[in-house]
Amino acid sequence: MNHVFVRLSARTLVALAALALLASACGDDTLSEAASTCFDEPSIDAITDVTTDNLAGTTITLATHDSFTLSESTLAAFTDETGIIVEQVAVGDAGQLVSQAVLTKDNPTADVLFGIDNSFMCRGIDAELFVPYASPGLDDVADELELDPFNRLTPIDYGDVCVNYWTDALPGDAPESLDDLIDPVNAGQFVTENPETSSPGFSFLLATIAKYGEDGWEDYWTSLVDNDVSITAGWNDAYYGEFIAGGGARSIVTSYASSPPAEFLFADPPVDAPPTGVLQDSCFRQIEFAGVLNGTAHPEASAALIDFMLSTTFQEDVPLNMFVYPANGEAALPDAFVQWGPLVDDALTIDPAVIETNRDDWTERWNAIVAS
């Protein structure tokens, strides 16, 4: 009797090994080489001619990441207007949200998804998660935010991931270019996030790739490592751990263009100007999209919600709740954003299809550099 478990686990091992062979026999390895077909013409029919006349009482579900917050009255305004009831479900961070949506694509948990960004959008589109829908609200959205020519994903907000610095704590002059981060004067000053576990961390990696190109970014990172860059798992342990904002020793950090306005608004005691500044040369554009999920039973109501998300009611509520900029150019910005958080005109970008094709390779190469 005492040996029953030894036998059991041996049997389990054999069974699992057999399963392993079975699984490995019926696969191929070409997936990772295939280029993204992200912006090819979709086979899913678009939603057209949306009218909300008969939709009162319909209930739809909006899936978002945990960082999605609105003022209480905002979604109520949509229900007042259309009679459509919106339930919400929040799923971890943006990465968890996208993985969850891919996993449940045959039986989606929601009708509309908000919170997929340009670095993940092709993963969602390649998995055929979204139904094309051209919202009339797109007329007020700048062309450079409309990345998907077939409107499977609609831009809702955007912002820049930028290197921030604590002005009073810098050892030298304020950095003006990415090259200044590898200047010995800033040795041991810079902390950034792991691109595999942090969205701003990945954006910063993309910024360096956009800036130095496929042939130069690895050398740049080698120099960063030589200059004692610190890598943390997430934004929090960078900004509030090692950056001076939380009592740390470093004066330069990867954060957002909207971080100085937040430092200004939530300063304690109040300040005349934020203690932090933004390295304009380092900013990578991050656009957040919403899309109607393929498989919804309520395409019209879902499309109506997309329309509402582009309305000024929704768009003007976005900045102070999520610290991002409204996609709708007609939406008014809060004063703190106008004064302390101007977005750069020529933020760095990379085609989402290129990101999707190279993502794993880039992060693997990045790992090799920082692990050495």
Partner 1 sequence: MERHRGQLTPQTLRRAGLVAGPTIFLALFFIWPVAQLLWRGLSDGDGALLNTFSSSSIRSVAWFTLWQAVASTVLTLIVALPLTAVIANVTFRGRRLVQALVTVPFVLPTVVVAGAFLATGDRLGATSGPFSLTKSVFAILVAHVFFNVAVVVRTVGSYWGQLSRDDEHAARTLGTPAWQTFFRITLRRLRPSLLAATSIVFLFTFTSFGVVLILGGARQRTIETEVFRYAISRTDFATAAALSIVQLIAVVALVALNLRLRSSLAQSDRLAERAQPAPNTLTLGLSWMTIAATIGLLSVPIIILVEQSLQTGSGLGFDNYRSLADRPPFLTVSPQRALANSLWFAVLATAIATVVGGWTSIAIVYSPTKISRLLDLGYLLPLGTSAVTLGFGILITFDSGWLDLRQSWVIIPLAQALIGIPFVTRAVVPVLRSIDPHLREAAASMGSSPAQIRRDIDFPIARRALVVGAGFAFAISLGEFGATSFVGRRPDFMTVPLAIGRLLSQPGQSIRGQAMALSVILMVITTVVLLIVDRADRSNVL
Site for partner 1 in 6-25 (CB under 8 A): 6, 8-9, 12-13, 16, 19-21, 23-25
Pick from 39, 44, 69, 343: which binds partner 1 (CB under 8 A)? 69
**Cβ nearer to partner 1, comparing 26 with 51:** 26
Query: Would you count residue 223 as binding partner 1 (CB under 8 A)?
Result: no
| Nearest alpha-carbon partner for 111 in 168, 63, 77 | 63
Report strand pairing: 130-131 vs 85-90.
unpaired
Distance, first Cα to last Cα, the chain: 50
Query: Would you count residue 214 as binding partner 1 (CB under 8 A)?
Result: no
CB 197 within 8 A of CB 337: no
Q: What is d(CA 333, CA 166) in angstroms, rounded to the nearest whole number?
A: 25
Binding mask 111-130 for partner 1 (x = CB under 8 A): ------------x---x---
Helix and strand numbers (H, E) in the chain are: 12, 10
Query: Would you count residue 34 as binding partner 1 (CB under 8 A)?
Result: no
Binding mask 86-105 for partner 1 (x = CB under 8 A): -xxxxxx--xx-xxx-xxx-
Q: How many residues bind partner 1 (CB under 8 A)?
A: 86
Q: Which residue has 């057209």 as its token pair?
A: 48
Secondary-structure percent of the chain, ordered helix, strand, coil, rounded to 5: 45, 20, 40
Query: Would you count residue 33 as binding partner 1 (CB under 8 A)?
Result: no
Pick from 52, 203, 255, 282: which binds partner 1 (CB under 8 A)? 255
Query: Would you count residue 208 as binding partner 1 (CB under 8 A)?
Result: no
Query: Would you count residue 298 as binding partner 1 (CB under 8 A)?
Result: no
Half-sphere exposure of 341 (CA within 13 A, CB side): 26
CB atoms within 10 A of CB 146: 17
Q: What is d(CA 35, CA 356) in angstroms, rounded to the nearest whole number?
A: 8
Q: Cβ of residue 195: shortest distance to partner 1, in angstroms?
A: 9
Pick from 245, 287, 306, 348: which binds partner 1 (CB under 8 A)? 245
Select the span of 43-51, 194-202, 303-311, 339-347 touching partner 1 (CB under 8 A). Answer: 194-202
Q: Report phi then psi at 163, rounded to 5.
A: -70, 130
**Cβ nearer to partner 1, comparing 284 with 323:** 323
